[in-house]
Amino acid sequence: MPHGRITGWATHLPEKVLTNDELAKIVDTSDEWIRERTGISTRHVDGTVTEMSTEAGRSAMAMAGVAADDIDLLLLASCTSDQQFPASASVVQHNLGLTCGAIDMNAACSGFVYGLVTAMQYIDGGLDRVLLIGSDALSPLIDWADRGTCVLFGDGAGAVVIERSAEEPSLLGWDLMSDGSAAGILYCDHGGKIVMNGQEVFRRAVLAMESAARKAMEQAAVTSDDIALVVPHQANVRIIEASFKRLGLTMDRAAMVLHRTGNTSAASIPLAMVDAIDAGRIQQGDLLLLVGFGAGMSSAAAVIRWDAPAR
């Protein structure tokens, strides 16, 4: 039975870059504090979900060599849709000239992994090609007077084309989870700004990442020794370090773009994954562990075997 595999990928970041030093002119913070406590140096701002998604989606389709008519479904993982409705996916679908269904999926920062698992089920269910985009524009939702949140977030998008073609499944194991009892520690009301209890999010994020990763690896019947590269959600380098320690992983196996993107929510995992591909860190047959967490509190992990077509 044919299965889904990733055949094209691309990312997009808005042009405008905001540095830590620029933030230090707005709130009582410093480049040193932000880098030491988060690992972030710069982030991109002033993007919109529909524009960034359109750019990333178009480039991913070009790389995969697929035409607009070939895409059977557009899944857009985002918690910051440009409008309350319509779904940003509908606007992107039109921009790209697609002739298929299009839906937004909101699993906050876990959205790309939720989307990947969902896309693979659609492929197993009979679709030939799904365009999956993770895209978030958090900068419009930032309270620029709150130094506890404004230093963390940025805007970005990453897209993959998933095609029904592989002989062997590339998704070997996965875990999706949500703990709605913690919804109050990280949220944004309609028309409001991001509100966060940073310490509580930090504490829970480490545990959620460990749990999701363990469950996905168990289902895939692999251990952390088998994983060539981990692509963690890029929120805070200290969260990644703490969860890696619990999983027996060393940081040299982490895909990282956090220092230059900040936390881009659903875009962070594809941004880090594509960066690692471009840097030659992912080889054919490698096992990747994608693991994220976010508001909700959602968490998600997937073990995939990298089997993109040779280029």
Q: In the set 99, 121, 199, 283, which binds ligand COA (CB under 6 A)?
A: 199
Q: d(Cα 266, Cα 80) in Å, to the nearest integer?
A: 10
Annotated catalytic residue, options 20, 106, 236, 263: 263
- In the complex, minimum distance from the CB of residue 250 to ligand COA, in angstroms, rounded to a whole number: 21
- Provide the angle, in degrees to the nearest 10, between the axes of the packed helices 49-64 and 88-95: 50
Closest distance of CB 227 from ligand COA, Å: 22
Q: Is residue 22 a contact partner of residue 44, using CB atoms and an 8 Å limit?
A: no
Under a CB-based contact definition with an 8 Å cutoff, are residues 113 and 64 in contact? no
Q: Is residue 147 near ligand COA by the rule CB under 6 A?
A: yes
Q: Toward ligand COA, which CB reaches closer, 33 or 101?
A: 33
Helix (H) or strand (E) holding 308: none
Residue with tokens 């509580």: 200
The CB-nearest residue to ligand COA is: 198
Of the residues 52, 89, 151, 216, which one makes contact with ligand COA according to CB under 6 A:
151
**Helices then strands, each counted (H, E), the chain:** 10, 13
Catalytic (active site) residue 109: yes
Distances (CA, A) of 178 to 5, 24, 132: 26, 35, 21
Of the candidates 46, 50, 156, 158, which has an alpha carbon nearest to the alpha carbon of residue 102? 50
Q: Would you say 288 and 98 are in contact if contact means Cβ atoms under 8 Å apart?
A: no
Phi, psi (degrees; rounded to nearest 5) at 144:
-75, 5
Interface with ligand COA includes 37 (CB under 6 A)? yes
The pattern of x and - marking residues 86 through 125 that bind ligand COA according to CB under 6 A reads -----------------------x----------------
**Nearer of residues 17 and 24 to ligand COA, judged by Cβ:** 24
Q: Are 311 and 252 spatial neighbours (Cβ–Cβ below 8 Å)? A: no
Residue 148, interface with ligand COA (CB under 6 A)?
A: yes
Selecting among 109, 150, 188, 236, the annotated active-site residue is 109
Is residue 27 classed as helix, strand or coil in its secondary structure? Answer: coil
Which span sits near ligand COA by CB under 6 A: 34-42, 47-55, 115-123, 211-219? 34-42
Min. distance of Cβ 256 from ligand COA in angstroms? 15
Instruction: Supply φ then ψ for residue 176, to 5 degrees.
Output: -120, 135
Per-residue mark of binding to ligand COA, 179-198 (x: CB under 6 A)? -------x---------x-x
233 is catalytic: yes
Residue with tokens 């999926």: 105
Residues that bind ligand COA (CB under 6 A): 29, 33-34, 37-38, 109, 147-148, 151-152, 186, 196, 198-199, 201-202, 205, 235-236, 239, 263, 294
Catalytic (active-site) positions: 109, 233, 263
